[in-house]
Amino acid sequence: MTGADVSGSAPGRAPPAIELRAIAKSFGHVQANQDIDLVVEPGTIHGIVGENGAGKSTLMNTLYGLHQADAGEILINGAPAPIRSSADAIGHGIGMVHQHFMLVPNFSVLENVMLGSEGGPLLAEGREKILAILEGLASDYGMTVDPHALAGDLPVGLQQRVEIIKALKGGARILILDEPTGVLTPQEAESLFRILDTLRQDGVTVLLITHKLEEIMAATDNVSIMRQGRMVGHRATRDTNPEELAELMVGRKVLLRVDRGTSSPGETRLSVEQLGCVSPEGVQLLDDISFEVRSGEILGTAGIAGNGQSELLEVLAGMRRPDWGRIRMMGTEITPDAETDPDETRKRGVAHIPEDRHRHGLVLGFTARENAILGYHRGSATGERSLIDATAVTSHCEKLMAEHDVRPPNPELRARSFSGGNQQKLVIARELDTRPDVLIVGQPTRGVDIGAIEFIHKELIALRGEGAAIVLVSVELEEILGLSDRIMVMNAGRLVGIVDRHEANERTLGLMMAGIGAAEDAA
């Protein structure tokens, strides 16, 4: 076992609050966690950072018994603790605050807290006890909340407070928080960290899952870094810095050099002015975004996932209505009043390679040939006649597959049966085939093997060479650096800055992504 090697704990002290040894977990073909070792000292705030999809949530759900590891061992306070259900985890004094709140919105705070620990068959019996616990937590940690308010009516920060109360109500000494600040305002986040600090002083062990580096630096004692399902490092927070963490998180993938050639930007094809977007819950997703993209230019958008890039892509593609600002693109004008739709946007020469090919880019139950016309089924690919020309569709798909190296080149195969890389190549083939004037592309190589990555990169460069204006969103910093002519960095829905490629390096971008740097630093 290598657990002790990475712990840094000296013998003779209290056993670690949590120790994980060689945890592995896969879902189907996806290896979500692999060979994970982790040691968390009692009474500390321990951060776990990693990009979206690095396997942090999977690991925490395993620890909380929501699913079981395929291999490995869990020790709580030094003793082996087989955790098969959340009830087991609760029994071991573990409480969890999930990324998506598990509150019943039409229940009162009191009812939500009571659920699962009612104290007897009649609610009246346990009510006083829970009220006392609520009062105790309020006075001990400053977690005040009206027990009779409806959970759904509370602001997000207070809802989260209820979740923390739920986790602590049974006297939990280990608290897991999964991306707790993702939906919070800065003020709410600040109050959360004050509460966590009080908890730590009281001896509670806190596991903080996040992808926000400033939170790690500000709030934690130790930090572990995950990448692609593995643990890639453990640090004492005071011995590290955001740049190192960013580097560890993003990793240094051996990326094949792309010959970008020289760019000769032409006229402006896309301009965005003061774009803003708010979620139904009232969270500011995009805030005051302005930029321009010219013909023959790739504008890379860097940022740690979840900082507004997805929403930006959706607004540009006509899939989401902006709440403020305006977008001008190939004769289309998108404003909050003049909506457009993806079909109209596409007809004006704008193509969109979506971030999530399973959710948006493909219909997995359809064959490749049916997917080859998704979004273009009213166009020439389906023939000129009133019925879809099956031969035309098949030959269109065969052409796409041949030109873009989709394997196996079988139009009758269902999209589900292709590998991730070939699924992505199929989407890219479909979107590039019209030689669009503007291309909006998100995570073009996510979950794609090295060979396909190179191919996809060359295709994007070639399209730029033809004069297309390209907006590229990627969480892979190397991809951004390899492809972009200019780089825009987003953090918390805002634009941190736009820098020229030759002025950017991983360090400057890393700082900007963490929201620390500013545009002026690089300029």
Contact (CB, 8 A) for 466 and 458 = no
Quote the least distance from Cβ 362 to another protein, whole Å.
Answer: 7
User: Residue 361 carries which DSSP code?
Assistant: I
Q: Is 116 in the site for another protein (CB under 8 A)?
A: yes
Among 114, 154, 209, 496, binds another protein (CB under 8 A): 114
Instruction: For residue 38, give both structure tokens.
Output: 């982790």
Could you tell me the strand order of the sheet in which 79-80 lies?
30-40, 18-27, 71-76, 79-80
Nearer of residues 118 and 243 to another protein, judged by Cβ: 118
* 103 binds another protein per the rule CB under 8 A: yes
Q: Provide the 3-class DSSP secondary structure of residue 61.
A: helix
C-beta closer to another protein: residue 29 or 502: 29
**359 near another protein, judged by CB under 8 A:** yes
Q: How many residues bind another protein (CB under 8 A)?
A: 61
Among 30, 79, 104, 462, binds another protein (CB under 8 A): 104
Considering only residues 289-308, where is the footprint of another protein by CB under 8 A?
none
Least distance to another protein from the beta carbon of 360, Å? 4
State the Cα–Cα distance between residues 473 and 286, nearest whole angstrom: 15
Among 66, 232, 255, 258, binds another protein (CB under 8 A): 66
Min CB(84)–another protein separation in Å: 11
190 is a site residue for another protein (CB under 8 A)? no
Tokens of 13: 């002290």
Sign, Cα dihedral of 375, 379, 383, 386: positive
- Confirm or reject binding of residue 213 to another protein (CB under 8 A): no
Compute the Cα dihedral for 228, 229, 234, 240 and give only its sign: positive
For tokens 């640090």, name the residue. 235
d(CA 45, CA 35): 23
Q: For residue 9, give the DSSP letter.
A: P
Does 392 sit near another protein (CB under 8 A)? no
Asked whether the beta carbons of 59 and 66 are under 8 A apart, the reply is no
Pick one of 352, 404, 457, 486: the residue that binds another protein (CB under 8 A).
Answer: 352
Per CB under 8 A, 373 contacts another protein = yes
Which residue in the set 382, 434, 474, 491 belongs to the binding site for another protein (CB under 8 A)?
A: 382
SS3 322: coil
Q: Are strands 438-442 and 350-353 parallel, antiparallel or unpaired?
A: parallel
Q: Which residues bind another protein (CB under 8 A)?
A: 28, 64, 66-67, 85-87, 90, 96, 98, 100, 102-107, 111-112, 114-118, 120-124, 126, 166, 317-319, 341-346, 352, 354, 359-366, 370, 373-375, 377-378, 382, 386-388, 390
